Chains A and B, each alone.
Chain A
């Protein structure tokens, strides 16, 4: 190895790398980790103090830009760049809106932060607010997360009492406080513009872009929307530095990320790993491997196209590019492992019903296609009444729905269907030809 190459340290792309340390989930699962006392005993609010008292807002934005952090809510937009879209302060109120409406099937990483380490989010919001001169942070938390809501509200109350929220924090001249707003059960409200509408007390339909939230967001004021994990990542970026964050991950996907595993694995749960680690490492080395024969897996939440459970795909690095090269997306990193004996058409029917139930109903292809026709087609197949031509009809409908909806919900509903047909067409054809599934097992419930 030449000196030039040896000079630059190898990026950390595996959790087995001794240099890697868990940071986001460091305190999750520990009793009382959600209290202010515990948080302060573990360097709590030090990063915020550093940002507010020693850095300028633009410095914070640049640090996050340099770190290479990409949005952890699924879209993967560079967070620092998003922060820099906010216009210059012009007297209008500015908001940092945290998207805690985690409803993507397969995703459950934000919940434990809200329940076990809410101060991390509070501190992250302070840093993000400071960076963008936004004096009000809003956390929109999904309505079903009651424990998370209670813990977060309690944490905010304690932080306020201790002076970490309110006026002139750390004597920096920066005021900041947080509104916590509970959702009420609608996946579409996780879409950033629908989130804003829902927060404003309107029905949760998405809005047109342009105008973008940074220009006209909550109540028409400049707003930036970020996922819970994106915001908490900012704490560690400020604490340890952008280089530290960028030392982990691949060229296009930097930093540490929370991956979730569910489905037929021995140790399902959330695993924090550097980006670029492979699916194989996640599923076998940490999640205990499949608990029975697996045939497919979803890489990043139900909206991401599934992939066959083969070495070719399992060896892909879990990065935006790495997965894109395999024809899918990273999404939220919520891996679902699908057992061989699960009828894939039935599984897809479940997925289709999810998107149908969560459609907001605004636009025609989603309301009539995703929410009405597609579930009926899948029901027809699963009930054994499929006819020749049905599969082609589904493919054609999928083509007509993709790209024509008002927001990406319609597309997200079709990608999994396309992938399932691409890789498991045989199961569809078997079902249509025979009226029964190739994999008829229906007993999954453990005693």
Chain B
């Protein structure tokens, strides 16, 4: 089951994180911190609910409505919890030329959810997104923070299998082009699985 967030304030025990984020911006530009603060919540709780929006509004002396207006503008903040594995399928031009539409249909069939939905277990959620900036290695599937590139049908199948076993394979990151020529580059490990700050 998807965990419901507790009522305890999110930032109550994270003052150092709040201070660090607010400290990035000049004193007259504190409102800029609304996006990184939203991200902290999104990352930890897989969504940003109204209580959290109100907290962020209080920290920045904004109205909750303004925070909601900013949050809802972007595709990566979610009102409802996304799954443990949030699958973002790039569906634009080059990826669609490489079969992204078929990959999306495959995922819909396999997972039983469509764009914008999370499965009952809370394990998988699916989102069709726009160009992820990896057109040379299409089709691309972003799982949480990691790009899985050149995702062929067999790789996709393999990916689902490993995720169903609660792990993730090393990301496939071929480069081509001016990087290492035709040979595939070694898979590269990301410094923090959940993405770091500073």
Contacts and interface: CB of A to CB of B under 8 A. Distances in A.
A443 B106 CA distance: 12
Contacts of A295: none
Given A107-B133, A147-B190, A181-B35, A202 B142 contact: no
B61 to A, nearest CB: 12
Q: For B131, B175, B180, which residue has the most chain A Cβ atoms within 10 angstroms?
A: B131
Interface string B56-95: 0000100000000110011111000000000010011110
Contacts of B92: 105, 302, 350-351, 354
Interface stretch (A150-158, A323-331, A386-394, A423-431): A150-158
A272 to B, nearest CB: 5
Contacts, number: 221
Q: For B26, B73, B192, which residue has the most chain A Cβ atoms within 10 angstroms?
A: B73
A201 B34 CA distance: 6
Contacts of A339: 97
Contact of A347 (B93, B175, B180, B197): B93
A338 interface: yes
A415 interface: no
Contacts of B73: 186, 203-204, 360
A112 interface: yes
Contact of B136 (A30, A108, A447): A108
B49 interface: no
B97 A336 contact: yes
B131 A182 contact: no
A149 interface: yes
B188 interface: yes
Nearest to A184: B74
Contacts of A108: 133-136
Contact of A260 (B26, B130, B136): B136
B178 A272 contact: yes
A272 B178 CA distance: 7
Categorize the interface residue count of chain B. 35 or more
A268 B135 CA distance: 8
A175 interface: no
Interface stretch (B2-10, B11-19, B116-124, B146-154): B146-154
Interface in B154-198: 154, 175-180, 182, 185-186, 188, 190-192, 195-198
B77 to A, nearest CB: 6
A263 B33 CA distance: 38
A20 interface: no
Contacts of B190: 146-147, 150
Contacts of A142: 133
Contacts of A153: 196-198
Interface stretch (A21-29, A118-126, A402-410): A21-29
Contact of A268 (B70, B76, B138, B197): B138
A154 B136 CA distance: 26
A200 B29 contact: yes
A183 B153 contact: no
A94 B73 CA distance: 28
A102 interface: yes
A269 B177 contact: yes
B32 A261 contact: no
A149 B70 contact: no
Contact of B29 (A219, A347, A350): A219
Contacts of B138: 262, 268
Contacts of B106: 445
A158 B133 CA distance: 26
B185 A184 contact: no
Contacts of A150: 190-192, 195-196
Nearest to B191: A150
A324 B88 CA distance: 36
Contacts of B186: 31
Nearest to B37: A201
Contacts of B129: 144, 185
B152 A446 contact: yes
Contacts of B152: 445-447
A334 B152 CA distance: 23
A103 interface: yes
A102 B131 CA distance: 9
Given A147-B190, A150-B192, A271-B177, A179 B24 contact: yes
A113 B147 CA distance: 16
A130 interface: no
Given A203-B73, A268-B136, A181 B93 contact: no
A354 B26 contact: no
B103 interface: yes
A446 B135 CA distance: 15
Contacts of B26: 93, 136, 219
Contact of A25 (B74, B76, B179): B179
Q: For A110, A334, A351, which residue has the most chain B Cβ atoms within 10 angstroms?
A: A334
A264 interface: yes
B48 to A, nearest CB: 11
B126 interface: no
A142 B175 CA distance: 20
Interface of B: 24-26, 28-29, 31-36, 38-39, 60, 69-70, 73-77, 88, 91-94, 96-103, 106, 129-139, 142, 145-147, 152-154, 175-180, 182, 185-186, 188, 190-192, 195-198
19 contacts: A105-B135, A107-B135, A111-B134, A112-B175, A143-B39, A144-B76, A144-B88, A150-B192, A181-B24, A201-B34, A203-B70, A218-B29, A262-B138, A268-B136, A268-B176, A269-B177, A302-B93, A444-B99, A444-B102
The 10 closest A-B pairs by CB, nearest first: A269-B177, A445-B99, A29-B179, A269-B176, A185-B75, A184-B74, A262-B135, A201-B31, A146-B145, A262-B94
Given A201-B31, A269-B136, A444-B97, 8 more contacts: A106-B131, A147-B188, A185-B76, A200-B32, A201-B35, A262-B97, A269-B178, A444-B96
